[in-house]
Structure 1
Amino acid sequence: MRIVVVTDHAHINGGLAKVAIDSAKGFARRGHRVDYFAAVGPVEPGLAEAGVTVTLLDQPDVLSTSSLARFGAQWLWNGAAEQGLARLLAACDPAETIVHVHGWAKALSPSIGRALKKAGLPVVHTLHEYYLACPNGGFYDYGAARNCDYTAMSGGCIAHNCDSRGYHRKLMRVGRHALMRYGSGLYDTARHLITISKLQREVVAPYMPKDAAFYEVGNPIDVTDHGPKGEHRPGDFVFVGRLSAEKGPRYFAQAAELAGVTPVFVGDGPERAALEREFPRATFLGWKDPAGVREALRAARALVFPSVWYEGQPLTVYESLALGTPVIVSDICAGREAVVDGETGFWFRCADAHSLAGAIARLKDDDLARRMSDAAYARYWADPLTLDRHLDALAAVYEKVRADWRKAPSLAAHAEALL
């Protein structure tokens, strides 16, 4: 099988890129021919070491561009991405190829849809976020700091400013979303969709083509089995992640104050300065490398995950459970699916500091914290989210997608005519 991985970044800058890169390397090591097509470098060295062929456009994204005006044109319609992907796909044998799109919204743009549609190859999308359904990619109202109440692309949606940078940016997002859906062909390729949580499927299904097929494949979790904590003394309540409004750090700080504990924040972001002023007793450790994050999670009494938006599959929640640390999680986000309420942690009402404080107060009990720690560890490792398990699930999806493609003679004939 030839697997063409399409995504914005060729290096690990977050969970999406890590999953794309790890799966590409994993399939190459299993003997498949793997191409990795991306806009933004540098290239993760492990790709070449695993035998993956990388096509890099060497373009910027919004964080690395030297000219927002020039990048705006790329963000709207990346002609180089369309042409480069078209050349790559034209060299692929339709009888053996699958195209897997992980991400396009940060640099590649909707233009890749034209190349995908012209090639006529079987395509599967992993929905790491919500850009195929929502103009801002998250069904989140940044101005109100809560989930959005509007139907995406409805009149109310278009008229409402949910963007973090202003209404002009919202209108740009609306325009690009309309182009993605009606003018690029990208939406037309979204017939086979991998979701990474049940909640994600519930959220996006009303916006996807009626004949779309959904497959749930959890992301792999890069964590080592260190064994149960045993009689380890429970530590602090810890938040890990970006200190931004949608992640809910303020609710954690407020709840910790109500519960009489010291909140510990691992991470950084735009909310940090205000939180430090408002909550001087809180501890802020800043960003840590992956090993430092795992050390902080292993030592914690509980991870507090107060996100106020849907999320996709928050990997920190699973990593915490694997390390034997219970999780207190918002009931609106997909992280709740990993937590058995009352056994491996607690759910609390989203954006409700008093509800969160109640859960924190319960876990101040050392014996309960130890029991939940043992349960979290045992439940995770009874069915761990390993890379091999992830690859097996993806391979099964690929075969289903390819079988469906073979049943559509017009597509197959079109693809073969292009070769």
Structure 2
Amino acid sequence: MSRTVIVSHSHPNLRYGGGEVAAYRQFEHLLAQDEDVIFVGSTIGPEDSAKFFGPSQQVLSFGPRDFCLRGRGMDSFTMEHAEVRDEDWIFEFLLALQGDVYHFHHFWNIGAGTIRRLRAALPKAKFICTLHELTAICANHGQMVKRSGELCYASSEVACAACVARPPIDFVLRKTRMLEMLGLFNHLLSPSEFLRERFEDWGVPKGRIAVIENGLDHHASFRPETEAELLAKSGRFAFFGQATPTKGLDVLIRAAALIEARDEAPELPLSIEIHGVDKDSFTRMWPDLEIPDCIHFRGRYRPQDCVDIMRGYGWIIIPSVWWENSPVVIQEARAAGTPMIASDIGGMAEKTAGWGLQFRVGDPAALASAIMSVHGQPDALLVHKSRITPPLGLEEFAAEWMEACELRKSVKARKLVGA
């Protein structure tokens, strides 16, 4: 291996999400090891592109090896660009990088057609894809949540047609095309067993997908906490995420309201702090929800500060109402040594088993009960903290990645032409 090109649907400098963060951390680690590596992200669509690009600008450069493409949006059903010219220049840009390894962390904004053309143009290159979510299976934003809000447990052409309002034959063709595209990759990776099983049940041959947890650069060193510190933390809970319907922030607010409506106030004050969302953003999305007094909005935070911020809480709450695969917030909580209260489905259930609490997904009463079962309980907090194991480090991730993808330790690289 000489040159690795890491491709993501988004760029974490512009939008912070789990898939793009995992991709960028991989890039930064390989770069720090003097590997010949290039990162290519994208803006999400026309709205974001207009914020960051000039009228005829196609590429932003954050460094000689760090690029962001202008995303113009694409058809989420076919995973293709509406205009051939949009696909043409993305294909030509990726081809010009002359990678020996192309590691894709998503198809969105890149396009299935781009991948097919690049594969044909570079038959000797190694193509790798990390499956961060269920887009290939589900045409409803890859979330396997029906338009009614009900969780979907398996795709079928008839059920999908009823959900997305297209003829069943369209879903037969879509599945064929998606499986064909996945077949172009030399290696498929998944950060969770849950996601691997979903893809195998859908049609990817068993044994094709290797499971490697996303890497996280962390330095876990904890000093013993006093009883007073543990007691104080046992009353402090936090949410880290975005104000999107599937993140379940409304479930948390409803749970907090149920707690406040109880006849007896708890002896230790309850505090639930919301990071990543401000009050105005929440109100725009859920205008009819009254915000309880125990809820405090803290707004945006720097990703690199997340683990340190988490260390100040007793519990981190992840109330998502869709099949999260391997949320970065779970790895960050493990690095912080802070246990979690999580929805009982998907990668959340898998990744918090043994050291976190789980509650019935989408159920505010169940979440309220989970919160109150550990509120003001320093002994319970200490027990759960003792069960936490550190997340996979970036060095360990890189070693597993090279082994799973049959990559040799690369020769230190040639300079990027034109850098």
Is it true that 1:268 corresponds to 2:277 in the alignment?
Answer: yes
Give the Cα separation in 1 of the matches to 2:365 and 2:379: 20
Distance in structure 1 (CA, Å) of the matches to 2:275 and 2:345 = 22
The answer on 1:368 being equivalent to 2:386 is no
Q: Return the offset for 1:279.
A: 2.3
Q: Does the 8 Å contact 2:313/2:338 carry over to 1? A: yes
Alpha-carbon distance, 1:215 to partner: 0.8
The Cα offsets for residues 94-148 of structure 1, whole Å up to 9 and x where unpaired, read as xxx332111221x211122222431223322101122222223433336323423
Task: Name the aligned partner's letter for residue 89 of structure 2.
Answer: A
Amino acid in the other structure paired with 2:113: S
Q: Structure 1 vs Structure 2: percent identity of aligned residues?
A: 21
Question: Residue 29 and residue 298 in structure 1: after superposition, are their counterparts in 2 closer, same or farther (change >3 A)?
Answer: closer
Q: Which residue of 1 aligns with 2:183?
A: 188
Partner of residue 139, structure 2 = 135
Q: Distance between the aligned counterparts of 1:401 and 1:244, measured in 2?
A: 41
Q: 1:180 to 1:79 in 2, by over 3 A?
A: farther
For 2:171 and 2:39, locate their aligned partners in 1 and report how far apart those are by CA, in whole Å.
25
CA deviations on 1:278-327 (whole Å, 9 max, x unpaired) are 22422222222235543442221211111111112111122113212210
**1-structure distance, mates of 2:291, 2:42:** 41
| C-alpha distance in structure 2 between counterparts of 1:301 and 1:114, whole Å | 48
- How many Å apart are 1:18 and its aligned residue? 2.5
Equivalents in 1 of 2:68, 2:365: separation in Å? 49
**C-alpha deviation, 1:271, in angstroms:** 4.3
Offset at 1:34?
Answer: 2.4
Q: Tell me, yes or no, if structure 1 residue 15 matches structure 2 residue 8.
A: no
Equivalent of residue 60 in structure 2, options 39, 42, 51: 42
Q: What is the CA–CA distance in structure 2 between the aligned matches of 1:220 and 1:303, rounded to whole Å?
A: 20
Q: Is the 8 A contact 2:116 2:184 kept in 1?
A: no
Shift of 1:249: 1.3
Is the aligned partner of 1:259 residue 2:259?
yes
Report what 1:356 is aligned to. Answer: 367
2:242 partner SS: coil
In structure 2, what is the Cα distance between the partners aligned to 1:336 and 1:76? 43
The residue identity in structure 1 corresponding to 2:274 is: F
8 A contact 2:251–2:362 mirrored in 1: yes
Give the TM-score normalised by the residue count of structure 1: 0.75
1:78 aligned to which of 66, 87, 95:
87
| SS at 2:183 equivalent | helix
Measure the CA separation in 2 of the matches of 1:184 and 1:203. Answer: 13
Q: Please, what TM-score do these two structures have when normalized by structure 2?
A: 0.75
* 1:101 equivalenced with 2:110 (yes/no): no
Q: Extract unaligned runs of 5+ from structure 2.
A: 44-58, 75-79, 261-269, 410-419
2:414 equivalent in structure 1: none
Runs of at least 5 residues in structure 1 that lack an aligned partner in the other structure: 64-70, 162-166, 403-419
**Bigger mean CA offset, 235-244 vs 265-274:** 265-274
* 1:84-123 matches, cutoff 5 A: 84-89=93-98, 97-105=100-108, 107-118=109-120, 119-120=122-123, 121-123=125-127
What residue in structure 1 maps to residue 50 of structure 2? none
* Letter aligned with residue 151 of structure 2: N
SS in 2 for 1:42: strand
Q: Check the 8 A contact 1:127/1:194 in 2, yes or no.
A: yes
Partner of residue 388 from structure 1, selected from 374, 383, 395: 395
1:113 is matched by which residue type in structure 2?
I
- For the residue of structure 2 that corresponds to 1:370, the secondary structure is helix
3-state SS in 1 of match to 2:243: coil
Note if contact 2:81-2:111 (Cα within 8 Å) is conserved in structure 1: no
User: Residue type matched to 1:79 in 2?
Assistant: D
Q: CA RMSD in A?
A: 3.5
Q: 1:278 is paired with a residue of what secondary structure?
A: coil
CA distance in 1: counterparts of 2:93 and 2:104, whole angstroms: 15
Given that residues 30 and 37 in structure 2 are in contact (C-alpha distance below 8 angstroms), is that contact kept between their aligned partners in structure 1? yes
Q: Give the CA deviation at 1:19.
A: 2.2
Does 1:347 find its partner at 2:375? no
CA contact (8 A) 1:253 1:263 kept: no
Deviation readout 1:247-287 (Å, 9 max, x if unpaired): 11122122223334443222228644426842242222222
Partner of 1:221: 216
- Which residue in the other structure is 1:30 paired with? 33
The question of 1:145 aligning with 2:149 is answered yes
- Worse overlay, 13-22 or 391-400: 13-22
In structure 1, give the amino acid aligned to 2:290: E
Please identify which structure carries the higher helix content.
Answer: 1
The AA in structure 2 aligned to 1:129 is E
Instruction: Tell me if structure 1 keeps the 8 A contact 2:327–2:348.
Output: yes
